[in-house]
Amino acid sequence: MSGVLSLVASLGAIVLGFVRAAGSLALFALAAVSHLFRPPFYWRNFLSAFVEFAYFSLPVVALTALFSGGVIALQSYTGFARYNAQSAIAGIVVLSVVRELGPVLAGLIVAGRVGSAMAAEIGTMRVTDQIDALGTLSTNPMKYLVTPRLLAGTLALPLLVVVADILGVLGGFIVSVVKLGFSPNAYIANTFSVMQPIDVNVGLVKAAVFGFLIALMGCYNGYHSRGGAQGVGSATTASVVAASILVLAFDYMLTEMFFSR
Amino acid sequence: MSGAVTPPQGTPKLRIRGLRKAFGSKQVLDGIDLDVASGTSMVVIGGSGSGKSVLLRCILGLIEPDAGSIEVDGVDVLRLRRREREAVNRRIGMLFQNGALFDSLTVWENVAFGLMARRQINRRDAREKAGDVLRQVGLDPSVGLLSPSELSGGMQKRVGLARAIAAQPEILFFDEPTTGLDPIMGAVIDGLIVECVRTLGSTAIAITHDMASATRIGDAAAMLYRGRLVWQGPAASLLESGNPLVDQFTHGRREGPISMELRR
Ligand SMILES: Nc1ncnc2c1ncn2[C@@H]1O[C@H](COP(=O)(O)OP(=O)(O)OP(=O)(O)O)[C@@H](O)[C@H]1O
Ligand SMILES: [Mg+2]
């Protein structure tokens, strides 16, 4: 009996902790977003975060997308599309890249690269009193640190995903033409006949949501880190883990929302 | 705005009553009463870990106290709403114990940060002004182009001081301004603090372990021990206060009423 009770109690504690964390995260996000509508806006911080997101992640995202597109072409050829390959493979590549792989891969890569760096930077600022110092210098730390980064993430990820989409399709194209010997013109025609505007749009919406979430997790964990270098380290890890899980979870939810009719 | 109201004559710039703060079971501040008159400087001494930094953080709103009141110009800042509190904090400059310089910015951007944040000045003027303030704290303006991580500890301290005074705030907090400086530079910084208080008419609270510095900076002095201010008086009488706690502390004696407790 007491075993059951303590089980229920610890379960309750877990649920409560989860609700509390989610609530505090939601409040944090709300506060940061509300600063978007109250001047000043820190353009410099926005631009440097944007560059961090878009530019420095570009090579990794591009390479990943290129290879993924190629792999999909190869896999679907050897796997199941051998008999109708010409027309099917182009469609499989473009849909999987534009709807799923582009946003998800870009999201996971950026979470690991940029989200973690963000958590480390803001976390270091927290444990060395720099965030407190901002407050004594007529500057709201949320507005200065968090809001520009959230906006940068939300705007930069779609840009990255456009590049990932193009290179993913290119990867599939190269494999299909060079290795499988398809006609280049037919491949391109097939690609465009299968791809609908909604595929691209949903991919970009996903990207924007992922970008927001990644920046949010980086900022939130950094902002609330405590206890020196170790605290910053665990904040960094937490931000990557949380952002990755959120990217995958929201990917499912958004897919469900837009495509499951 | 709260700051616009002129306080009645004789109201201290800063009045603290019954301030209490505990971290878990550890009562760090246990009923602090402190007045700092306008245009004077108060030196707070006390052992390491006695809660001096916590006291300043409470006044700045970086730590929420458990009880008590903190009045700035007669207004209890603990009852203010966020915006009003931020307006009060804008009138306070702080030198943090570890400098807390922004390491993603250059030195001059650090010094001019508060000026630029108030938007009363463009970047070029801010940079020039930063050079002036750096010179005031004994640094060459060319240091402004370096990043804080390229400075020695003492230089970082001076940059932190420059940042705190650049916007000429009404109230200045110095958390161990001279720790880590050589004696001459320490004296220079002390002189600078005194000058700020005199020329700007600022009110200052300085935390220090350095008795020479304390008597140079302070008009008044107070000693924090076990969460309370066990002694207050003129800074000049620190060395002959007649209070056994203060005596032991200022003369650095091992024997006396203060036994070094192990920290819990
Ligand atoms: N955020 C916090 N959480 C928990 N405990 C804290 C916190 N800040 C300070 N303390 C505790 O409060 C006590 C007083 O700390 P404080 O930093 O004010 O000491 P101090 O008088 O400034 O010492 P020093 O001269 O060494 O700087 C310490 O025991 C410290 O452990
Ligand atoms: Mg301290």
Residue B204, beta-bridge partner list:
B41, B172
User: How many structural domains comprise chain A?
Assistant: 1
Residue-wise pLDDT for A122-161, tens only, equals: 999 999 999 999 988 989 999 999 999 999 999 999 999 9
Mean pLDDT for chain B overall:
86
Quick one: pLDDT band at residue B2, thresholds 50, 70, 90? Answer: very low
Alpha carbons within 13 angstroms on the beta-carbon side of residue A35 total 21
Residue-wise pLDDT for A72-123, tens only, equals: 999 888 876 667 766 788 899 999 999 999 999 999 999 999 999 999 999 9
CB B133 within 8 A of CB B165: yes
Q: Does B123 touch chain A (CB under 8 A)?
A: no
Note the ipTM here.
Answer: 0.86
Q: Are residues B58 and B181 in the same domain?
A: yes
> Where does residue B214 rank: exposed (0-12), middle (13-18), buried (19+ CB within 10 A)?
buried
Q: Does B121 touch chain A (CB under 8 A)?
A: no
Task: With respect to residue A148, please indicate whether it lies within any of the assigned structural domains.
Answer: yes
Q: Are residues B240 and B135 in the same domain?
A: no
Task: With respect to residue B118, please indicate whether it lies within any of the assigned structural domains.
Answer: yes
End of a domain among B119, B151, B168? B168
Domain interval for residue B193: 14-91+171-263
In this structure, which residue's CA is closest to atom 9 in ligand 1? B54
Residue A218: DSSP 8-state: H
Report the alpha-carbon distance of residue B69 to residue B86 in Å, rounded.
17
Residues of A in contact with B103 (CB under 8 A): 124, 128, 130
User: How many structural domains comprise chain B?
Assistant: 2
Residues listed for chain B: 264
Q: Are residues B181 and B256 in the same domain?
A: yes
Q: What chain A residue is nearest to B102 in terms of C-alpha separation?
A: A130
Count of CB atoms within 10 A of residue A142's CB? 17
Confidence (pLDDT) at A1:
60
CB distance A133–B100 less than 8 Å? yes
Report the alpha-carbon distance of residue B67 to residue B65 in Å, rounded.
6
State which amino acid sits at residue A35.
H
Q: What chain A residue is nearest to B112 in terms of C-alpha separation?
A: A137
Task: With respect to residue A9, please indicate whether it lies within any of the assigned structural domains.
Answer: no
Q: Are residues B258 and B206 in the same domain?
A: yes
Residue-wise pLDDT for B162-173, tens only, equals: 999 888 889 999
Domain interval for residue A53: 41-259
Confidence (pLDDT) at B261:
57
Rounded alpha-carbon distances, angstroms, from residue A76 to A93, A101, A179, B90: 9, 15, 13, 63
Q: Are residues B246 and B177 in the same domain?
A: yes
Of the ligands numbered here, which is closest to the C-alpha atom of B28? Answer: 1
State which amino acid sits at residue B91.
R
Look up the pTM and report it. 0.88
Task: With respect to residue A157, please indicate whether it lies within any of the assigned structural domains.
Answer: yes
Quick one: pLDDT band at residue A240, thresholds 50, 70, 90? Answer: very high
Q: Are residues B79 and B134 in the same domain?
A: no
CB distance B60–A132 less than 8 Å? yes
| Closest ligand 1 atom, residue B57 Cα | 18
Task: With respect to residue B4, please indicate whether it lies within any of the assigned structural domains.
Answer: no
Mean per-residue pLDDT, A234-251: 94
φ and ψ at residue B43, rounded to 5 degrees: -105, 130
The Å distance, Cα B98 to ligand 2 centre, comes to 9
Residues of B in contact with A47 (CB under 8 A): none
Q: Are residues B113 and B131 in the same domain?
A: yes
Two structure tokens written together for B73: 């110009």
